[in-house]
Each structure stands twice: as C-alpha cells, then as structure tokens.
Amino acid sequence: VAEAPVLGMDVGGTKVAVGAVAGPRADHLVEEPTELSSTEALLDGMEKAYRAVVEAAGEPEAVGVGVPSQIEFATGRVLSSVNIPLEGVALREELANRFGVAVFVDNDANCAALAEAQLVDDAPARHLVMLTLGTGVGGGVVIDGTIFRGTHGLGAELGHVTIDADGPNCPGNCPNRGCIEALCSGTALQRDATELGKDKPDSPLGRIYAQNRRVKGRETVEAAQQGDPDALTLLERLGTNLGVAIASFVNVFEPEHLVVGGGLSRAAELFFPRAREEAAARALPALWERVSVEVARGGAHAGVIGAGVLAGQELKGQARDTARTGTTEGAR
C-alpha cells in the first residue's frame, strides 16, 4: 500500500522550507525567505513555497507545518510567537483555506523530535527524547512513535524544567529561574560570556566585550575553539548543567534515544563529552546502561521531514477514527 503523499513545511526565523516527505527523506525542496513584515506577507510567502512544491511533486493529501511558536494543537491556533508574526493566528484554518488540503500545525521542537525518530536508526525509534539548544531550549518527547503534547498541545516544554532552584532568571516569557533554558541556551551563554568579558578586560572575551558591550554565544564558541580557557570553562559548565538535565530525562522516560540538537549542537565537541560524563554519574544505572545519548542527526531538512511525518501520522489517525466511528467528524 502506497503511503499518502504529504508535504512538510518548516517555518524558521529566516526561511520557510517546504518539501515532499517520504519516510526519512525530503524531495522537491523549495525555500523562501521568511517575511517578517506582516502576518499576511508571511502567509503569502508560505503559500508561494507550497505552490512551487505542489507543481513539482503533485497535490498532497496533507501538509504538516512546524513553527517556532506555542501551538494549541487540536485547533492549530498560535498562542504565542516571539520571533515571527503569527501570534493569535488560526494558522491551521488559514492554511487549510489557502491550500485546500488538510493541514496540521505543531511547534518546531516537536517536529524536530519526530524527524530524529525517523533518522536515528534503520527503523523509526519508538521512544525518543530530544533537546534543542538554540537561542532558547526546546524539547520533544516521542512515545510509542508519536509526539507527547499534553492536554492542549502545549506540553513537553523540556527547556523549562528547573535544574537549579536558585539559578539565574529564565529568559523570555518564563517566570521561573534556573531552568535548562536559563543555563544551557545560547542566551545563557551570551549572558555569562558578557559578564566574564566585563570582568576580565585583558582576556579574549574581554576584548570582544570592549568592542560590542556584549559577547555572543557564537563568539564564545569561536574563542573556545581557539583554545581560550575562559570560553572553554563556560562551555564545560554548560555541559555539566546539560548533563544534570539529561540524567533526569533518562530517569523519567527511559527512552531508547536521547538526542541533543539545535544550533549550539554544532559545537557539541566543546560541551557534550562533559554532559555525558555528568549524566552517567547521575542517572539510575540500569537506565543509563540501556540508553543511547547522542548529538542529533538533524541535518538541514530535519524540520521539513518532521513536519511531513506529523502530517502522515495525523492522516493515519483520522483514517483510524473514521473506520471506528463511521463518520468523518473531526477530520478536515
């Protein structure tokens, strides 16, 4: 039986990528710059990329869309969106009207976790936890092959698990402190590197601070790669904190795979060995022996693949519901 053709759309802060998704592959990829000037312009750009892929790949049965926003999954409404103009938009409905096919919308961290579950082994992983280290820290939990979302689709915000009760304030909308995001994100790295640069004007980080009044995460990574001991210490500390988090997720979920992705993971050699060492010392031994903890396979098209996998799974779920109840109620 042929799989239903599905498209995946990955909406990032700089580009919208769309492709036809089959298993762990994305074909007919099209990219458009993300229009940030207005909601209408952004939706137009998404539609343009969609139409270009349909022209090459044919009309799909469904489209999955990953966005860097909080999504009420059942309705596909965007509850909050910091970096792109989608807050309050009924995105699933808007796009279904524009495309004329079924649309499913989820946040990008969930889509990334679904993609990893496809990519991590020869067969899709059944149980996987993913942490995404970027400007913030996102996460996704795959249980029995599907994403766990909680009651309204807002769940599994792994980045806002507290690992230090007295830790620094969490950036963004979170009222908490000492969250993983407050200690292991690009924002946290910038905060600590800037502080250090201010304190040590004669150091490499101090010279960057003197120029720009701040030291970015990327600059800290570059300094560490050139052997700067201060930058290396900051990344080791990030690794230690990440290891504390990893141990807890291994204990809670007992996944087959725990993977760490996101922009910061490209510098994994600077903090991941420390994270694994810390996690190994803290996780319950019987669980630690059975889990694989790795850097995400990811790749440039993981967001597209994950969104497509999501659409395929939701289509199958609807078909199952229809077969059981004899109605198409609830299906678009």
Residues contributing to the site for Zn ion (CB under 5 A): 160, 170, 174, 176, 179
User: Angle at the Cα of 90 (from 29 to 318), degrees rounded to 5?
Assistant: 70
Q: Which is nearer to Zn ion, 176 or 322 (CB)?
A: 176
Smallest separation (angstroms) from Zn ion to the CB of 164 = 11
Smallest separation (angstroms) from Zn ion to the CB of 104 = 27
Q: Which two tokens mark 74?
A: 């059942």
In the chain, the amino acid numbered 298 is G
Task: Give the list of residues 6+ apart from residue 2 with CB closer than 8 angstroms, or none.
Answer: none
- Cβ(3)–Cβ(312) under 8 Å? yes
Burial class of 286 by CB neighbour count within 10 A (0 to 12, 13 to 18, 19+): exposed
Q: Are strands 137-143 and 102-107 parallel, antiparallel or unpaired?
A: unpaired
Q: Which is nearer to Zn ion, 170 or 296 (CB)?
A: 170
Smallest separation (angstroms) from Zn ion to the CB of 155 = 15
Q: Which two tokens mark 225?
A: 């790669």
Smallest separation (angstroms) from Zn ion to the CB of 194 = 20
Q: Which is nearer to Zn ion, 138 or 308 (CB)?
A: 138
DSSP state of 103: E
* Distance, CA of 232 to CA of 118 (rounded, Å): 33
Q: Which is nearer to Zn ion, 57 or 130 (CB)?
A: 130
Smallest separation (angstroms) from Zn ion to the CB of 129 = 18
Q: Which is nearer to Zn ion, 37 or 173 (CB)?
A: 173
